[in-house]
Amino acid sequence: MEIDFSKLGHNLEDKLTSKMLPHIWCSGCSLGTNLQSLVRGAVMTGMDMDKEMVMISGIGCTGRASGYVEFDGFHTTHGRAIPFASGVKTGNPNLEVIVFSGDGDLFSIGGNHFIHAARRKLDMTIICTNNSVYGLTGGQASPTTFEYSTTTTTIDHNLRPFNLVDLALGAGADFVARYTSAHFKILPRIIKQAIETDGVAFIDLISGCPAIYGKRNGYPTADYMVKNFLEASVEIEVKEDGSHLLSENTRVEFDRTKGYTKIPIGVFRRQHR
Amino acid sequence: MKKQPRAMAGRHLDSGNIAVAEGAIYAGLHGYYGYPITPSTSIMEHIVKRLPHLEEPGYFLQCEDEIASITATIGCSWTRKKAMTATSGPGFSLMQEGIGLAVMTETPLVLVDVMRGGPSTGLPTFPGQQELMQAHFGSHGDYIIPTFAPWSVQECFDLTVEAFNAAEALRTPVFVLSDQVLSTLKEKFVIPKEGEMEVVNRAHPGETITWKGTEISEDLVPGMNCFGEEKKAFSTGLSHDESGHVDLTAKTFERLTNRMFEKVHRYAHLLPQAEKYMMDDAEIVIVTYGSTARSAYEAINLVREQGLKVGMYRLRTIWPFPEEDLRKSTEGKEILVVEMARDQLTWPVERALLRRVHHIAYPMGLIPPPSVITKKVREIGGK
């Protein structure tokens, strides 16, 4: 069957920079749905994406996202999306600043900037596409790569990964949530809440890289990955004593042969200053 | 607290670092991003007393490191606000990554580097001039950044204002290379009234601006579309086309990088020109800059009394190096380069003149005293 691509449309077409498409991402990647969730969330806020919002990204697969949407945007150097965002926010406080980047960019080379942003509480939204791998450079271990998982730089085993929710809570972020890319129905609403938070909002967006990470680590295809995300996700139960926030209760668990075995999801902190 | 005026017009007795801070505020500074490091810190400490208390308040942010400082400076500049950072040796090294990003995205900003002795932690509280080459070649890739060097507290003020104007007019980062001596040296300087000195603001897309009476070509320096304005504003450190979007073809990359060189060289005559002291009849010319020139000035006055015809070519713009002007004004004269570095200023000088020159290398964290210079001059002059 012949497909006439010129006639295919997208209901968010006017929010996408069509001249930059097709994007660079592999088939099966979570980034397409993540970006769509972000754009839907931004639209839900009722703000003007071009005049009131700035999307800043770092380096890596996720870093390219800022070029594909009609936000004002900037593609910074590796790990520096957050300091750039701090400059934008202090330059013009009327702008809504969104940092959209990956786990390697935000928590390895940019880790120091993240904890200081959370401490400093300049109003910004930080969304981390957390796929536990450096995809663009070919599959090296990232700071959220799981123990005993295989990457090109961890053949036998890896050291303990960061629990990003625990890290964000500890550093003092005002809004902390975790969902997976398979939760695209609820995500726009969560992203809207994050953007509307007055302070630092952080979303740990568990995502998949079937092409490079999944095939070596228990989720070889995109459809298996989506099912795996939904099956492993456990909504947190808020306890009065706050024990649901303990590190062991927010930790993501993973098995090299099966993929994710437990993903605690939900909004862990919602703070109004 | 009472609102403060931008221009603290009048006569002041203060240090070079204070003059730098006042120059930046005079030129319209909005955002300052910095990290404490000797000997640049007092710029930041003065800014924090002034910037948030202006009638139109600016913003001061103490960053977690110098990498964050330079990157936040770039971010602020993309909201059409004037932004700066200041640092010294080790901090300048950390900033090289962001400097490359500022060049590639054609971001106007001012970076003041108060030089101290290196390598590494080196001599934090003593002067050096060892960051001259770093200002040119520090970040990877080909680029040219206008680099100014003051020699007095007054010039710390003047050249900082000039630096902002050059940055805005040419859409480029601009360096001011001060040093530890100037940072703490106190002397008289005058701040003009608001409007007495030219202050340039960058062009909007489709707008043509003038700087020092010269129209800046929009083909070389495209108007800047900033965040929150009409059209989508976007840029990237990757090779990109005129709209800011990624384009990795050889043609686009060549066009982009050629234009970035061309815009600085085309308007190099508008950058601060070298000061020529007693050059007309001079047989020996001392080529130097910064606080080292103060010592050379004293030495020239001493040896002139003894009948030696010595002059000084004091660089105020170091990059792009004024090759032609230096060549023309020193034809047939002996050249003596004086610097607080082992072998840095000699490179561009010898390259410009296509010959070896005499040299005083003084890299031990002190300005060369006039006696060292007079001795060398007597040697060269045969007296």
Partners of A54 on chain B (C-beta within 8 Å) are: 227-228
- The full 3-state SS of chain B, as one line of letters, equals CCCECCCCCEEEEEEHHHHHHHHHHHCCEEEEEECCCCCCHHHHHHHHHHHHHECCCCEEEECCCHHHHHHHHHHHHCCCCEEEEEECHHHHHHHHHHHHHHHHCCCCEEEEEEEEECCCCCEEEEECCCCHHHHHHCCCCCCCCCEECCCCHHHHHHHHHHHHHHHHHHCCEEEEEEEHHHHHCEEEEEECCCCCCCCCCCCCCCCCCEECCEECCCCCCCCCCCCCCCCCCEEECCCECCCCCECCCHHHHHHHHHHHHHHHHHCHHHCCCCEEECCCCCCEEEEECCCHHHHHHHHHHHHHHCCCCEEEEECCEEECCCHHHHHHHCCCCEEEEEECCCCCCHHHHHHHHCCCCEEEECCCCCCCCHHHHHHHHHHHHCC
Q: Which amino acid is at B59?
A: Y
Is the pLDDT confidence value at B124 over 70?
yes
Residue A14 forms contact with B (CB below 8 Å): no
Indicate left, alpha or beta for A133 from its phi (over 0: left) and psi (-120 to 50: alpha).
beta
Q: Percentage of chain B with pLDDT > 70?
A: 100
Nearest CA in chain B to A23: B246
CA distance B175 to B173: 7
pLDDT in tens, A180-195: 999 999 999 999 999 9
Helix or strand or coil: residue A74? Answer: strand
Distance (Å) from the alpha carbon of B101 to chain A's nearest alpha carbon: 7
Task: Give the tokens for residue A271.
Answer: 């703070």
Is the pLDDT confidence value at A9 over 80?
no
Residue B284 forms contact with A (CB below 8 Å): no
Partners of A91 on chain B (C-beta within 8 Å) are: 30-31, 59, 75-81, 83
Q: Do the chains contact at A67 and B101, CB–CB below 8 Å? A: no
pLDDT in tens, B207-217: 999 999 999 99
Q: How many CA within 13 A on the CB side of residue A47?
A: 23
Q: pLDDT band for position B382 (50/70/90)? A: confident
For B275-381, give the CATH class: alpha beta
Residue A83 forms contact with B (CB below 8 Å): yes
Q: Which ipTM did the prediction report?
A: 0.96
Nearest CA in chain A to B59: A90
CA distance A52 to B71: 21
> Token pair 């009722």 is at which residue?
A46
Give the closest of B68, B79, B230 to A83, CB-based: B68
Residue B242 forms contact with A (CB below 8 Å): no
pLDDT in tens, B273-327: 999 999 999 999 999 999 999 999 999 999 999 999 999 999 999 999 999 999 9
CA distance A201 to B294: 53
Residue B75 forms contact with A (CB below 8 Å): yes
Partners of B75 on chain A (C-beta within 8 Å) are: 56, 74, 83-88, 91
* CATH architecture of the domain with residue range B1-272: 3-Layer(aba) Sandwich (3.40)
Residue B56 forms contact with A (CB below 8 Å): no
Q: Do the chains contact at A52 and B31, CB–CB below 8 Å? A: no
Residue B205 forms contact with A (CB below 8 Å): no
Task: Give the tokens for residue A259.
Answer: 């993929």
Give the residue from B82, B202, B225, B227 with the most A CB atoms within 10 Å of its CB, the best one to mutate: B227
Q: pLDDT band for position A1 (50/70/90)? A: low
Q: pLDDT band for position A5 (50/70/90)? A: low
CA distance A228 to A97: 32
Residue A257 forms contact with B (CB below 8 Å): no
Residue A72 forms contact with B (CB below 8 Å): yes
Nearest CA in chain B to A119: B64
Give the closest of B71, B77, B228 to A95, CB-based: B228
Nearest to A101 by CA among A70, A135, A141: A135
CA distance A214 to A87: 37
Partners of B68 on chain A (C-beta within 8 Å) are: 80, 82-83, 86, 112-113, 116
Partners of B30 on chain A (C-beta within 8 Å) are: 91
Domain boundaries, given as residue ranges, for chain B:
1-272, 275-381
Do the domains B275-381 and B1-272 match in fold?
yes
- Looking at residue A14, its pLDDT comes to 87
Give the residue from A88, A108, A113 with the most B CB atoms within 10 Å of its CB, the best one to mutate: A88
Domain boundaries, given as residue ranges, for chain A:
5-270
Is the pLDDT confidence value at A132 over 70?
yes
Partners of B83 on chain A (C-beta within 8 Å) are: 87, 91
Helix (H) or strand (E) holding A227: helix A222-232
Partners of A121 on chain B (C-beta within 8 Å) are: none
Q: How much is the average pLDDT of B146-166? A: 98
Give the closest of B79, B83, B236 to A95, CB-based: B79
For A5-270, give the CATH class: alpha beta
Q: How much is the average pLDDT of B43-47? A: 97
Q: Do the chains contact at A80 and B67, CB–CB below 8 Å? A: yes
Q: Do the chains contact at B227 and A19, CB–CB below 8 Å? A: no
Q: What is the mean pLDDT of chain B?
A: 96
Q: Do the chains contact at B67 and A83, CB–CB below 8 Å? A: yes
Q: Do the chains contact at B245 and A20, CB–CB below 8 Å? A: yes
- Looking at residue A273, its pLDDT comes to 45
- For helices A111-120 and A81-91, what crossing angle results, to 10°? 30
Distance (Å) from the alpha carbon of B180 to chain A's nearest alpha carbon: 28
pLDDT in tens, A222-252: 999 999 999 999 999 999 998 999 999 999 9
pLDDT in tens, A34-49: 999 999 999 999 999 8
Helix (H) or strand (E) holding A167: helix A164-171
Residue B234 forms contact with A (CB below 8 Å): yes
Is the pLDDT confidence value at A3 over 80?
no
Q: How many CA within 13 A on the CB side of residue B100?
A: 18
pLDDT in tens, A263-273: 999 999 998 54
- Looking at residue A8, its pLDDT comes to 72
Give the closest of A52, A70, A82 to B232, CB-based: A70
Residue B71 forms contact with A (CB below 8 Å): yes
